[in-house]
Amino acid sequence: MEIKKIEAPLSDEAVLSLKAGDNVLINGVIYTARDAAHKKLVELMDRGEDLPIDLAGQIIYYVGPTPARPGQVIGSAGPTTSGRMDAYTPKMLQQGMKACIGKGLRNQAVREALQDNKGLYLAAVGGAGALLSKKIKKCEVVAYPELGAEAIHRLEVEDFPVTVVNDAYGGDLYAEGARAYAR
């Protein structure tokens, strides 16, 4: 099985080179954001105000990392359930976000927004936060420190493993998997 490598932030070309089911290793910079941070970002968008980060080409990882132990860059950093961000994701994509990483299904509005904005939904393995944290080489809070673990962090990652679930063409790995086992 071929594993593809991509550099973050992403170009349209990189997004369009991937299809549902592809296994991918990410290198470069990604950002974290969960429910509370998404709410703040969308409120800023609605008011026409500047965002604390430029979303153009960015990958947002739905994670609230645990505190780092001595000698570690970050604590456990496993994905959270993506559906909690569904209400915000279409606006994030319209602002230039190119991909998001989480776990679980996305709603129809998100899947359509991924196609309309040339975006990807990527899944990281749930329950593997300690292993995933080893792929994070640097971590710094860049916005909303008052949110603690839900602050926006800038992560530098090396060979961070994900699988493409929803691609820019309407491909859906979860739907394809269900069809493969339907009787």
- Mind listing the pLDDT tens digit for each residue in 4-13? 999 999 999 9
Question: What's 41's DSSP letter?
Answer: H
pTM of the model: 0.96
Please check whether residue 105 is in contact with residue 83, taking contact to mean a CB–CB distance below 8 angstroms.
yes
**CATH number of the structural domain 3-181:** 3.20.130.10
- Mind listing the pLDDT tens digit for each residue in 66-110? 999 999 999 999 999 999 999 999 999 999 999 999 999 999 999
% pLDDT > 90, the chain = 92
Give the model's pLDDT for residue 24: 98
Query: Which strand (E) or helix (H) includes residue 50?
Result: none
Please check whether residue 88 is in contact with residue 106, taking contact to mean a CB–CB distance below 8 angstroms.
no
Q: What is the mean pLDDT of residues 165-179?
A: 95
